[in-house]
């Protein structure tokens, strides 16, 4: 984190000193974001250090506020930033983060003065202002921020963010849309983890056709090309269940395999 081990301390010092940045500091959980996870995003999330306890969120719209308040609720130090005084005041009164600052993130000097370049992870939650979102992301990367996560609101926006160096881009509207379509078409699939575009791990309700059958009877690997990883009963999962175990309606099973094979399950 550069020379200053605690950037939040830096903010406090600056606001007390009445620096050029108009700072408002106050003492004050990620809502279920169904983002698709694949190998490249996994690499990114693994690169985030577990001990990283400080985040800055730029843009306090609905998305930015949700990120702020969830991180804050989980006990992380979060700095919320917005150019709009009303958004800053609202964030302060709602206590969605430990620190809130009013600044224009398209100004590299404002970001530097606020110590935002010292943060290891910064989230750019500016969806509707394309130029501001791109410029902010570029500023953060040029300022040396290791992990910049940015929100895109269109395919073009997503590509531009990647071009200026965003380390990870989320596209909540598209991700939620895909997720909703999947839930509507396959309601018995409870959870899906995309390994790559063709392979997944899915958690699903035991299909009616499997009720009362043993794992050996079902012969899932030969018939469907899938591996059964776990069976969930009540609130506990049994990993690598034995072949003589019987599956029942209402239980949950976790399988791994190709999406083509998963789609052949009688669900």
Report the interface residues with ligand ATP, using CB under 6 A.
58-64, 81-84, 87, 104-106, 125-129, 132
d(CA 116, CA 46): 22
Q: How far is the CB of 35 from ligand ATP (least distance, A)?
A: 14
Question: Closest by alpha carbon to 263, among 174, 175, 178, 182?
Answer: 182
Q: How far is the CB of 173 from ligand ATP (least distance, A)?
A: 8
Q: Which two tokens stand for residue 34?
A: 């169904």
Q: How far is the CB of 20 from ligand ATP (least distance, A)?
A: 15
Q: Which of 22, 36 has the CB closer to ligand ATP?
A: 22
Query: How many Cα atoms are found within 13 Å in the side-chain-facing hemisphere of 181?
Result: 6
Q: Which of 106, 137 has the CB closer to ligand ATP?
A: 106
Q: Which of 82, 113 has the CB closer to ligand ATP?
A: 82
Sheet holding 199-205, edge to edge: 189-196, 199-205, 252-258, 227-233, 236-239
d(CA 132, CA 58): 11
Q: How far is the CB of 10 from ligand ATP (least distance, A)?
A: 18
Q: Which of 63, 224 has the CB closer to ligand ATP?
A: 63
Burial class (CB in 10 A: 0-12, 13-18, 19+), 78: buried
Taking CB atoms, the residue at the shortest distance from ligand ATP is 61
Q: Which of 8, 124 has the CB closer to ligand ATP?
A: 124
Q: How far is the CB of 247 from ligand ATP (least distance, A)?
A: 42
């Amino acid at each position: 984190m550069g020379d200053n081990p605690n950037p939040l301390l830096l903010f406090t010092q600056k606001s007390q000193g009445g620096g050029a940045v108009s700072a408002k500091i106050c003492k004050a959980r990620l809502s279920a974001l169904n983002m698709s996870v694949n190998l490249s995003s996994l690499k990114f999330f693994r690169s985030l250090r577990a001990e990283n306890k400080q985040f800055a969120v730029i843009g306090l719209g609905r998305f930015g506020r949700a990120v702020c308040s969830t991180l804050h609720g989980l006990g992380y130090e979060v700095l919320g930033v917005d150019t709009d005084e009303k958004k800053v005041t609202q964030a302060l009164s709602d206590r969605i983060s430990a620190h809130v600052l009013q600044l224009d993130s398209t100004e590299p000097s404002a970001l530097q003065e606020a110590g935002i370049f010292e943060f290891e992870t910064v989230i750019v939650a500016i969806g509707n202002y394309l130029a501001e979102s791109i410029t902010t992301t570029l500023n953060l990367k040029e300022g040396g921020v290791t992990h910049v996560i940015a929100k895109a609101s269109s395919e073009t926006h997503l590509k531009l963010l990647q071009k200026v160096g965003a380390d990870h881009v989320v596209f909540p509207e598209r991700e939620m849309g895909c997720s909703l379509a999947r839930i509507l078409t396959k309601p018995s699939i409870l959870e899906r983890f995309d390994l790559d575009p063709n392979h997944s791990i899915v958690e699903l309700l035991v299909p009616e056709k499997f009720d009362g059958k043993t794992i050996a009877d079902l012969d899932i690997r030969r018939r469907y090309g899938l591996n059964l990883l776990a069976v969930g009963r009540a609130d506990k999962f049994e990993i690598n269940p034995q072949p003589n175990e019987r599956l029942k309606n209402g239980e949950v099973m976790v399988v791994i395999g190709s999406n083509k094979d998963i789609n052949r399950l009688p669900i």
